Structure 1
C-alpha cells in the first residue's frame, strides 16, 4: 500500500476537482452512519447481498465532505466495524463527483462544506485505511463545530415547540447518561437505544434518544456535568410517554463533543454555580431559604396528590417547570432509624452512584470508577419517611443530607456513633407526632416526582387547629 501511495498525489479537500485521478486524501472521521444492505439485482444474483456505508471526513476547519462506500455486504459491514469517529484515515483514489443539491440522498447525510462527494467502489482501485502519519492536527478538528453554534435552539425554545420540527441544532451539557436498552422495533428486529439528558441555562432537561451503535458507545464516555455537546440536525417532537418534547438523533446528525466555543465555557460555569443533582438542588434550595417559614401555602395530603396528578395528566405540560412547595401539618407515620431500612448512604461525589461494600465507585462509566480521577466518597443521611393526615398519606418522602441533620439535630457522623437505644430514642422524637413539614415537589426528568422534606418540626395543637385546611 505504501508503494502505491508514493505514486499518487496527496490532495486537500479544498483542492478537489471533478473526476480527479491518482490522488489520496487524509482526514478524520467526524460522523458515520450504519451500513444498509440490499439485494444485488443488477448482477442477476438476487441472493448476493451488497451494502452501502456513509461517513463524513474532515481535513481542515472549513472543509468536510461526505464519503460513500459500496461493496459486498460482508466487506462493507467489516469496514464499518473497523473505522469509527475520531479515526484518521487515508482515502485512496476515490471517485469525485459534484453534489446534486436536489438529490434525495442529501437529506439523509450531514450538511457539509464541500461541493463534492467521494465514492469508494470495489470496481475501481479505491480504498480506505488508517493513516500512519502525524494525527494530532486532525484530532483537534473533532472539537470544531460543523455549523455556527450561535444558531442553535435553546432548550426552552425546543420545549415551546409542541409540533414536530426537523433539522434542529442543540447545545447542552450532559446531565444524565442512561444505560443501553434493547427493544423490539416495528419490523420485529431488536435494536439498542440509549437515552441521554442534556440541559442548558434555559431548561433543566431535554431527553435525547440515540440509536446509532457507535454513538451509543461514545455516550458511555461522556461525563455528567462536564461534557458539552453540540448536536446538529436532530428531530424534536412531543412524547406522550415522557410528557415533554424529546429529541432523536438522525442520519444527518453530527455530534461535536466539548466544542471550542464561548458557549461551552459558559455552560460549564453555569453548572458550577447551579447544582443539578437532586440532593445538591435540595441543599441549595434549603440554604437559599434562610427562613423556611416563608413557605406558607398550607395544603393537606390529598391536595398535594391532586396537584401532582393534574400536572402529570395535563397535555403539553413540561413537568420540570411545575415544581411547587407546600406546608403540611401531618403525622410522621414511618421513620425507621433503628431497623433495617437505609438511613445513610455513601456515594461517589462525581456520578452520585451508591457505594455498597466498597470504598471506591463501582460505576464503570464514571471517571472515578475507571480510576481516571480521585475523589473521596461522601456519606450523608438518606432517609425515607411517610407523612399522613386525615385525607391520606404521602409515602417515600425524602429527607437527605444537611436538611436531615437539621431535622434530627445531629450530624451523620454523630448518628453513626449512636447505640441502637439512642437511635430509637431519636426516632420517637418525631414518629407519630404531628409536625409542620415543608416540602418541595419537583420533577427531574426521570419520571415520577420527588417529594423532598425541606424542614420538619413539631407543631403546636393551636397552630394545627388554626391553619389545617379542610378536606
Structure 2
C-alpha cells in the first residue's frame, strides 16, 4: 500500500463478559477521487498505540494490509461513505503503519486536505436547516459554514470509569449567525481547537442534524461517518470567505454578535420565583407568543418515561419494536418529567443532555439502574 493522507479516525471499545476488544477505524485518501476505510481489531495496547501514532492530516504508509470487500449497506451506517468497493484490515502481526515526517510529506497529498469528499455544492445552509426545523431531525447532511467560536473541551467520567469529552463549536454563514455543532471524539475535538474563529471555514460531510428540545433549536453532531474539511478550496467556500471578510470590515458581524449576546441570559441574574400555577397563568397570557420566561421553581419531579438502549446492537428497543429498519444512534438523556408543587403540575417537561446528567448525578452511558437512554 502506498502513502496516503489520514482523513478521519475513531477509537471504539467493545466489552464482552470478562474481556474487552478494541477497534480502531480511520479513512485514508491519496487522490481527489479515491479514499478508503481502514479497520483494525486487537488488544488494548496495540490499538491504543496505533491510534496515538498519527493524527488527522498526517501522511501514512500502510504495509501488508488485508484487502477485503466491504458490505456497504451495513458498514456505511457507521463509517464514512467511500467510492471504493473495498476496505483495508490491519493485523497486529503482519501490518505496519508508518508516519511520514514533515520533510517527507508529499505536497500533492497535503492539498487533498482542502478538497471535500462530497460534491462541494451538496450542502445545506444553516438557515435552511433552521427553517426546515424538526422535519430534518435525525437526518445526515453536509454543512458548509464559518467558525464563530470554539468552546473549551469539557471532560467527564462515566460510572464505569471511562473518560469522555465534549466540545461545542458555534458556526455561522450568510443565513444564520449562531448554529451549534458538537464534537464528542478526541480527533474532531483536537481539530476544532485548531480553528481560528471568524477566519476558518469548514465543510462537514455527513453530520447528524437534531432538534434540541431543551434549547429549542437545531444542532449538528460530529459522528463516526463525518469527515471535516478545513478551509476548503472551492468556489462555494470562497464566497463564504468573502462574506467573512466583508462582515468583519463593515462591523456587521460585531453588531449581530452584540445583538445575540443581549438576547442570552446569565443564570446568576435569574431571581424571580414562580409557582406552577403562576407559570400556567403566564402561558395563558402569552397568546401563543414564544417568549421565554426565566425563573426559579421549587417542585417535586416525577420521571415518567424513558427509552432503553440495546447496547449490543446499538438500537432503541422501542424503535426495533415498531420498525425493521435500525437507525444508528447516539446516547443522550431526553426524559419527560412532571413537575409538581402545592399549586398544580406541569406535565411532560423535557430534561435533556448535560442538564439531565447534572440533575440525576450520573452519566448517560450508565445510570444507577443499569439503563442507557437515547434521544
Partner of 1:13: none
Partner of 2:254: 280
Greater RCO, CA 8 A, separation 6+: 2
Matched, 1:30 2:30: no
Matched, 1:230 2:203: yes
SS at match of 2:45: helix
Q: Which has the larger radius of gyration?
A: 1
Question: Aligned equivalents of 1:88 and 1:139: distance in 2?
Answer: 8
Question: Aligned equivalents of 1:77 and 1:60: distance in 2?
Answer: 28
Could you tell me how far 1:130 is from its partner in structure 2? Answer: 1.3
Instruction: Give CA-to-partner distance per residue, 1:290-310, whole Å, 9 cap, x none.
Output: xxxxxxxxxxxxxxxx89x94
Partner of 1:425: none
Alignment of 1:114-133 (within 5 A): 114-123=84-93, 125-131=94-100, 133=104
Partner of 2:292: 312
* Conservation of the 8 A alpha-carbon contact between 1:35 and 1:80: no
Partner of 2:338: none
Question: Aligned equivalents of 1:206 and 1:283: distance in 2?
Answer: 13
Question: Aligned equivalents of 2:38 and 2:84: distance in 1?
Answer: 11
SS at match of 1:204: coil
Could you tell me how far 1:100 is from its partner in structure 2? Answer: 1.6
Could you tell me how far 1:187 is from its partner in structure 2? Answer: 6.8
Matched, 1:240 2:213: yes
Partner of 2:271: none
Partner of 1:158: 129
Gaps of 5+ in 2: 260-285, 295-375
Could you tell me how far 1:210 is from its partner in structure 2? Answer: 0.6
Partner of 1:258: 231
TM-score (norm 2): 0.64
Could you tell me how far 1:312 is from its partner in structure 2? Answer: 2.6
Instruction: Give CA-to-partner distance per residue, 1:24-65, whole Å, 9 cap, x none.
Output: 2210101111232444x8xxxx44x43110000001111000
Question: Aligned equivalents of 2:47 and 2:162: distance in 1?
Answer: 21
| Two-structure CA RMSD over aligned residues (Å) | 2.8
Partner of 2:373: none
Question: Aligned equivalents of 1:177 and 1:284: distance in 2?
Answer: 17
Question: Aligned equivalents of 2:200 and 2:191: distance in 1?
Answer: 12
Question: Aligned equivalents of 1:62 and 1:284: distance in 2?
Answer: 43
Q: Select 1:110's aligned residue among 61, 76, 80.
A: 80
Question: Aligned equivalents of 1:283 and 1:256: distance in 2?
Answer: 25
Q: Which moved more, 1:62-71 or 1:154-163?
A: 154-163
Could you tell me how far 1:166 is from its partner in structure 2? Answer: 2.3
Could you tell me how far 1:252 is from its partner in structure 2? Answer: 0.2
Partner of 2:323: none
* Conservation of the 8 A alpha-carbon contact between 1:35 and 1:77: no
Matched residue pairs, number? 262
Question: Aligned equivalents of 1:185 and 1:313: distance in 2?
Answer: 33
CA 1:313–1:61: 2 relative to 1, 3 Å: farther
